[in-house]
Amino acid sequence: MNAIWVFLIGVSVVFAAANGRLEDFTKSIFDAARSAVEVSLFLLGIVALWMGIAKIIEDSGLIHKLSGVFRPLVCRLFKNIPADHPSIASITLNFLANLFGLGNAATPLGIQAMQDLQSLNKDPEKITAEMMLFIVINTASIQLIPFTVIGILADFGSQNPSWVVFPTFLATVLSAAFAVGALLVCRRILK
Amino acid sequence: MKTIQLLSQLFIPAFIFGAILYGVVKKVRVYDSFVGGAKEGVRVVVRIFPYLLAIFVAIKSFQASGAFDFSRQLLHAWLGSFAIPLEAVSIALIKPLSGSASLGLFTDIVKTTGPDSLASRLSAVIMGSAETTFYVLAVYLGAAGIKKTRYLVPVCLVADAVGIILAVLIVKWFF
């Protein structure tokens, strides 16, 4: 992330100077600060809401039951998670929320999953193989039906807005498979 | 399709109701649990904020400086032989950077080229199959406080590129 950050900002300053857009550059930085606050405020609401529900599930012991149920699904991919660990439930729920296109639920569930996975991490600053797998599957965004996209196509009078469903699903599944494969190859080579 | 929409709508209410009901049955003080958990949630978001700020500054300045337009033109020229509309190239580049910007651009593409054009369909599939990678990375890595990301970021970026190429191939094949 360090290299990418330096690259993006470095390139931006050079381009801004060359294009005579230094004023735009400065303005964009303050814009960015404002939208970071706006997005964080939104996250604050949904993450606190989810963490509240999650605490109920934890205190009642439901989380361990859920983890037990989902274990066979998740443990095929995530081999180093102990049985009925809470991360199994949060990972599965995050995948389900993504699958059903519930972005507002998927983000807090993913944050919870990352924290649960962090509790298994021996070196808290270094990412684990499980976390990488989790993030890669998330960025591939497997979704059954892209409701937002279909909604926009339908709004503008598409003949057949649900045409996009199958190609989208195929593209996400194939790219997720590629991403997981690439990760496993890297793990083997770079160990 | 209707069934999936119904399931999507049912998922959250059923989950919340089930969680509270189970808690009540198990004699948990659910209200106090909820408040305690929510308090923890506030701390998490405060911890994520600096990561989010850093990535937003990088992305917004990249767009405002003209560097984004330049790389878009470059990529489009380079892809010229594959007859991919410039609109689809724009979506492919902007989706990993910003969710709201890509949604705005997508709406604009559908409006200007018509909902059943090749550009709209390509953009639609790319919209649905790509994720706002940098945002996900900032939020999830920030939530766990990870500093050393090993080979994660390159894998994510390559996977993004492959995903977009796949989307283009699939749409061309169907269209």
Q: Does B98 touch chain A (CB under 8 A)?
A: no
User: Quick check: B146 and A131 in contact, CB under 8 A?
Assistant: yes
Q: What is the mean pLDDT of residues A140-161?
A: 87
Tokens 């119904």 found at: B6
* ipTM score assigned to the predicted complex: 0.88
Rounded distance, CA B115 to CA A146, Å?
Answer: 15
Q: What is the mean pLDDT of residues B26-36?
A: 95
Residue A136 in tokens: 């890669």
Share of chain B above pLDDT 70, in %: 99
Nearest to B38 among A49, A162, A165 (CB): A49
User: Could you read off the pLDDT of A59-76 as tens digits, one per residue?
Assistant: 998 888 888 888 888 888
With 90 as the cut, is the pLDDT of residue A56 above it?
A: yes
Q: What is the DSSP string of B34-92?
A: HHHHHHHHHHHHHHHHHHHHHHHHHHHHHHHTTHHHHHHHHHHHHTGGG---HHHHHHH
Rounded distance, CA B126 to CA B38, Å?
Answer: 35
Q: What is the mean pLDDT of residues A6-10?
A: 93
Share of chain A above pLDDT 70, in %: 99
Identify which of A9, A152, A127, A176 has the alpha carbon closest to the alpha carbon of residue B54.
Answer: A9
With 80 as the cut, is the pLDDT of residue A141 above it?
A: no
Residue A178 in tokens: 């590629």
Identify which of B64, B86, B67 has the alpha carbon closest to the alpha carbon of residue B75.
Answer: B86
With 90 as the cut, is the pLDDT of residue B114 above it?
A: yes
Closest residue in A to B70 (Cα) is: A15
Rounded distance, CA B93 to CA B71, Å?
Answer: 9
Closest residue in A to B169 (Cα) is: A171
Closest residue in A to B8 (Cα) is: A100
With 70 as the cut, is the pLDDT of residue A191 above it?
A: no
Q: Which pTM does this prediction carry?
A: 0.88
Q: Do A143 and B114 touch (CB under 8 A)?
A: no
Alpha-carbon dihedral B50, B55, B59, B64, rounded to 10 degrees:
20
Rounded distance, CA B151 to CA A185, Å?
Answer: 11
Averaged pLDDT of chain B: 90
B62 contacts in chain A (CB < 8 Å): 8-9, 11-12
Q: Which chain A residues in 82-141 lie under 8 Å from chain B, judged by CB atoms?
A: 93, 96-97, 100-102, 105, 107-108, 110-111, 114-115, 117-118, 121, 124-127, 131-132, 134-136, 138-141
Q: Does B118 touch chain A (CB under 8 A)?
A: no
Q: Does A148 touch chain B (CB under 8 A)?
A: yes
DSSP A122: S
Q: How high is the pLDDT of residue B85?
A: 87
Share of chain B above pLDDT 90, in %: 67
Q: How high is the pLDDT of residue B86?
A: 87
User: Could you read off the pLDDT of B92-112 as tens digits, one per residue?
Assistant: 999 988 888 899 999 999 999
Q: Does B167 touch chain A (CB under 8 A)?
A: yes
Identify the burial level of A121 via C-beta atoms within 10 angstroms of its C-beta, where 0-12 means exposed, 13-18 middle and 19 or more buried: middle
